[in-house]
Amino acid sequence: MNRLVKELDKIECEYVSRFPMSRYTSMRVGGIVDLIVYPKNQSELIMVFNILRCLELDWTVLGGGSNTIIDDGGIKGVLVSTRKMRDIQILENGKVLAEAGAVLGTILNNSLRAGLSGFEFAAGIPGTVGGGIAMNAGANDGEIKDVVERVWIWLDGKEIVLSRDEINFEYRKNDLPKGSVVTRALFFLTHGNRKESEKRVKDYLDKRSKTQPITTSNSGSIFKNPAEIPAGKLLEELGFKGFTIGGARFSELHANFIVNSGSAKASDVIRLIQMAGEEAFLRKGLLLETEVKIIGKEKS
């Protein structure tokens, strides 16, 4: 780790030691990460990953942390955060080039201001370009895959560019190579009617505020929807609405959301997820797959 810190100093890249991940993730749980590194742009991100590769250090990458639960034991090793890489360029012909850490909501606002339409589906998804592509984030009948044209990734010491078709996006997953990191992406939008787009965004946000617990810390949908039934409906049928462990509970508003009342530990959240998965299998014969990513080390 000392050698890494020396190299980061040389390229003047920002980092913080022993950072509490409860301050990073939207669920507000998680232990300490040994070192969090904040590249400020795409070229610095590539330098950081090349250094990590040369030093043979394990790493994790995160964007907004809005789809991730970090264990109470934290993360042993290095976390690279794209949060400072927020550049968004509106190009000609409705194209938008955005760095991995650009926030989806900011891309939406900037594109609306430029009279572009197509990104409205992302209203209220609090993630970044990297996390959005990794998850093929979607809502309101739209997904990232519908608007992405090209994705640049760092892989094994090189930056390469992939077309949308090479990524094989599916419901909340894709075929990005293992060990790759999204560095930036090109989106294609169309020229539209700004007023109509803004109205659609407002309707989406209004619907969200009525149906999701957006004022309490959470990580969005916990489980993917099985083919048979929406996960929220299933959890409601199983009696999980309001079910609580420690400071975490399944939301009364939407049973596929777990909310942190303020004192939750990651272990409370993870236990709720395990219990719901077990009950879904035992009582309905359904295998629930988590949409949220759970990472880190269990506290011993």
Ligand X SMILES: Cc1cc2nc3c(=O)[nH]c(=O)nc-3n(C[C@H](O)[C@H](O)[C@H](O)COP(=O)(O)OP(=O)(O)OC[C@H]3O[C@@H](n4cnc5c(N)ncnc54)[C@H](O)[C@@H]3O)c2cc1C
The residues annotated as belonging to the active site are 172, 221, 291
> Phi, psi (5° rounding) for residue 6?
-60, -45
Task: Tell me which of 8, 51, 96, 135 binds ligand X, using CB under 6 A.
Answer: 135
Query: Helices 194-211 and 104-113: crossing angle, nearest 10°?
Result: 150
Task: Tell me which of 22, 41, 42, 68 binds ligand X, using CB under 6 A.
Answer: 68
DSSP string, 20-31: EGGGTSTT----
Does position 100 bind ligand X by CB under 6 A? yes
Task: Tell me which of 51, 70, 151, 182 binds ligand X, using CB under 6 A.
Answer: 182
Binding segment toward ligand X, per CB under 6 A, in 8-16, 131-139, 242-250, 279-287: 131-139
Binding segment toward ligand X, per CB under 6 A, in 1-9, 30-38, 137-145, 235-243: 137-145
In the complex, what is the shortest distance from the CB of residue 262 to ligand X, in angstroms, rounded to a whole number? 16
| CA gap 85, 61 in Å, rounded | 13
Q: Name, in order, each residue with C-beta under 8 angstroms of 227's C-beta and a sequence gap of 6 or more.
A: none
By beta-carbon proximity to ligand X, the closer residue of 144 and 234 is 144
> Phi, psi (5° rounding) for residue 31?
-80, -155
Does position 105 bind ligand X by CB under 6 A? no
Site for ligand X in 241-280 (CB under 6 A): none
Closest CA to 90 of 105, 78, 102, 107: 107
CB 74 within 8 A of CB 265: no
By beta-carbon proximity to ligand X, the closer residue of 102 and 279 is 102
**C-alpha dist (Å) from residue 113 to 106, 147, 246:** 11, 17, 44
In the complex, what is the shortest distance from the CB of residue 69 to ligand X, in angstroms, rounded to a whole number? 9
Task: Tell me which of 42, 67, 225, 256 binds ligand X, using CB under 6 A.
Answer: 67
Does position 174 bind ligand X by CB under 6 A? no
